[in-house]
Amino acid sequence: MTKAVNSLTFPRLLLEHAQVIPKQPAYREKYLGIWQVTSWEQNLEEIKQLACGLASLGFKRGMNLAIIGDNRPKLYQAMVAAQCLGGVPVPLYQDAVAAEMIHVLNDAAISFAIVEDQEQVDKLLEIKEQAPILSTIIYEDPKGLTDYVQSYLHSYKQIQLLGKVFAEEHPEFFITELEVGKATDLSVILYTSGTTGKPKGVAHTHQNFIRAGQNSSQFDHLNSKDNILAYLPMAWVGDHLFSFAQAMVSGLTVNCPESKETVMSDMREIGPSYYFAPPRIFESLLTQVTIRMEDAGLFKRKLFELAMTHAKKVGSDILDGKSVGLMDRLEYALYNFTIYAPLRNTLGMSKIRVAYTAGEAIGPDLFRFYRSIGVNLKQFYGQTETCAYVCLQPDGQVKYDSVGIAAPGIEIKLADTGEVLVKGVSVMDSYYQRPDATAESIDAEGYFHTGDAGIIDKDGHLRIIDRAKDVGKMGNGKLFAPKYIENKLKFFPFIKEAVVFGDGKDAIMTFINIDFEAIANWAERRHIAFAGYVDLASKAEVYKMIGECINKVNVDLADDPMLSHAQIARFLILHKELDPDDDELTRTRKVRRGFIAEKYGPLLDALYSGKSEQFIETKVKFEDGRDGSISATVQIQNAKTAMESA
């Protein structure tokens, strides 16, 4: 970099890339089946026009700009445009219903919003009276908005045209405003998922995310030749680190898929060298592989099983450059040609040099699967409050049960309670306009209290046990760590979600959400008729198969010195999928355990009282916004526990 880190801002990085690598692609976007390319030189010009257009409408230093939509180059550009003027972008989850947006819009005092399309415009119009500060809405895609006549609605293209005229009339304005910016200015406000209350705005400075982006890019040797697929919510801190901060630091190319439905095919076309996804995405991909192999012929299934057995034996060692016998290497090479390479290509991972997962713990078996077939999958650890940057796993030092070592510029220590405390370059400036909450989370020594319980091993690797608030004790005084058990359950492709209970109890119980696609495929091949999710979830054959999965988890737990006592005693299969729209999951699909325990109290009581079934009626919100209910008599079964290891 040509400037010291303490003077860098994202707009200055934009200028640098436009000068040093002007023709290199900053963004690619799939539109109508064709990849459209925006170079760094073009990127600067488009951002300049947007920034000047916003300024002509009255957007200025200190104001916050809401950004709502799928991953689109123009929405990433909007972030930098706001920063060029000394404003702060505030991305919102695009799949949030209108009512969920009111808190963020008012909490962040949003007067300007740039959104993707008619869907997002309609949401803002629906709640505009409840967000009185909101005065200007700008949309990127004009489809369906021709007849909208509100004076405060503007198209993105109109604003850029205004900006072009404004820049001609005020030629020094853009660069002058850009140069006023300081590294200590706020660069973004990201809202927490709100698992226990109202989401809080996490205010980060330019230097927070730039240092996190620089250090992590250097850690994995990222440069302008790398490219990444941006498909996860822009409001999620992981996307902001990978698709924004690292891209702005290293100059790598950000690829935006055409739609949610085309992500996998677009990924295969692009062949990213750098990739990240939360565990649920890797779980979903493995489920698709499992379904395809179930449908394959006997010979192909047998070959796949042999290949996977060998991959599990030596694949990770080969990836890590460890010593492996010649015959094992030759056998692996044969399977690589026939099985592993085609599989990586099917997954869109044939060119991946580094892949990361984060957001929650990933099951060791799932982790091992990807590394065994040659995908350099690693874990990183962090929170919204730490730019998602606390721990990284170095190549050759990947442990399945850890999230890595302290990242460059980060200090980690454990409190007496076992809570993980973090200090360093990525820790937030504050919770936006919440000095009380900031003081509760960052102590006098500057350590951020993560809320996670962990252990640091002899090699300095951090192992996360669970959320500190979720870690408890069973009735016998022994450790209860629900997330640890849930992750083991979710390795099975037939289990989409699991919620484990046992704090203060004498036995462990669990709610299971089946993966409808995987189970439906499984049932159809066995000629099991079903009428829908509720019917399929109640089938005796499905209960038997899920019971077998739980039995395997109990066998695994029996050999775990930390949780051999925490085997699952009873389970039920929920009659509906847990859904963010029903407040059961956050927008990042984290379980709201307390809410679920209260909402499904009759089912939980039935589990612990020994009942074999329980009727329940549950209120739901349908996709079209209507309220309704689903009722069912839910079956409850005992699980087979294994003998604890000595």
Res. 499 pLDDT band, cuts 50 70 90: very high
Going by pLDDT thresholds of 50, 70 and 90, the confidence category of residue 118 is very high
State the pLDDT at residue 325.
Answer: 95
> Which pLDDT tens digit goes with each residue over 312-330?
999 999 999 999 999 999 9
403 is written with which tokens?
Answer: 């999230």
Q: What is the mean pLDDT of residues 579-607?
A: 88
Q: For the chain, list the domains and their CATH numbers.
A: 5-12+22-206 (3.40.50.12780), 472-638 (3.30.300.30)
Query: Residue 208's pLDDT is what?
Result: 96
Percent of the chain with pLDDT over 90: 75
| Ranges of H-type helices in 456-532 | 482-489, 516-525
pLDDT level of residue 587 (50, 70, 90 thresholds): confident
- Give the Cα separation of 266 and 62 in Å (integer): 38
Q: Residue 97: which residues within 8 A CB-CB, separation 6 or more?
A: 123, 581, 621, 625
pLDDT over 90 at 376, yes or no: yes
Joined together, the tokens standing for residue 125 give: 């119009």
Check residue 646 and give its pLDDT.
41
- Is the confidence at residue 392, as pLDDT, over 80? yes
Q: Which of 84-88, 397-401, 473-477, 641-645 has the highest mean pLDDT?
A: 84-88
Distance from the first to the final alpha carbon of the chain: 57
Query: C-alpha distances in angstroms, 303 versus 40, 407, 435, 551?
Result: 47, 40, 60, 27
Residue 257 has pLDDT above 70, yes or no: yes
CA dist 593 and 58 (Å) reads 44
**Mean local confidence (pLDDT), 361-368:** 77
Q: Give 337: exposed, middle or buried? Use CB within 10 Å, 0-12, 13-18, 19+.
A: exposed
Whether the predicted pLDDT of 362 surpasses 90? no
DSSP string for 272-337: -SEEEE-HHHHHHHHHHHHHHHHHS-HHHHHHHHHHHHHIIIIIHHHHTT----HHHHHHHHHHII
Instruction: Kindly state the average pLDDT of the residues 620-630.
Output: 78
Does 384 have pLDDT greater than 80?
Answer: yes
Rounded mean pLDDT, 418-443: 95
Helix (H) or strand (E) holding 465: strand 462-467
pLDDT digits (tens, 9 = 90+) for 227-254: 999 999 999 999 999 999 999 999 999 9
pLDDT band at 597 (very low <50, low <70, confident <90, very high): very high
pLDDT (0 to 100) of residue 279: 84
Average pLDDT over residues 453-476: 87
Given pLDDT bands bounded at 50, 70 and 90, which one contains residue 2?
A: very low
Tally Cβ neighbours within 10 Å of residue 267.
19
> Distance (Å, rounded) from C-alpha 364 to C-alpha 65?
40
Q: What's the mean pLDDT in 452-477?
A: 87
As a whole number, mean pLDDT of residues 175-186 equals 96
Largest CA distance in the chain: 80
219 φ, ψ to 5°? -60, -40
Radius of gyration of the chain (CA): 25
**Residue 4 banded pLDDT, cuts 50, 70, 90:** low
Taking each helix axis from N to C end, the angle separating 10-20 and 206-219, rounded to the nearest 10 degrees, works out to 50
- pLDDT number for residue 599: 93
Residue 1 has pLDDT above 60, yes or no: no
Q: What percent of the chain has pLDDT over 70?
A: 97
State how far the Cα of 255 lies from the Cα of 111, in Å rounded to an integer. 30
Query: Minimal CA–CA distance to 255: which of 229, 273, 225?
Result: 229
What's the pLDDT tens digit per position in 90-110?
999 999 999 999 999 999 999
Confidence at residue 6, expressed as pLDDT on a 0 to 100 scale: 61
pTM of the complete model: 0.83
Query: 317: burial class by Cβ within 10 Å (0-12, 13-18, 19+)?
Result: middle
Burial (0-12, 13-18, 19+ Cβ within 10 Å), 268:
middle
Q: What is the C-alpha to C-alpha distance for residues 49 and 51, in angstroms, rounded to an integer?
A: 6
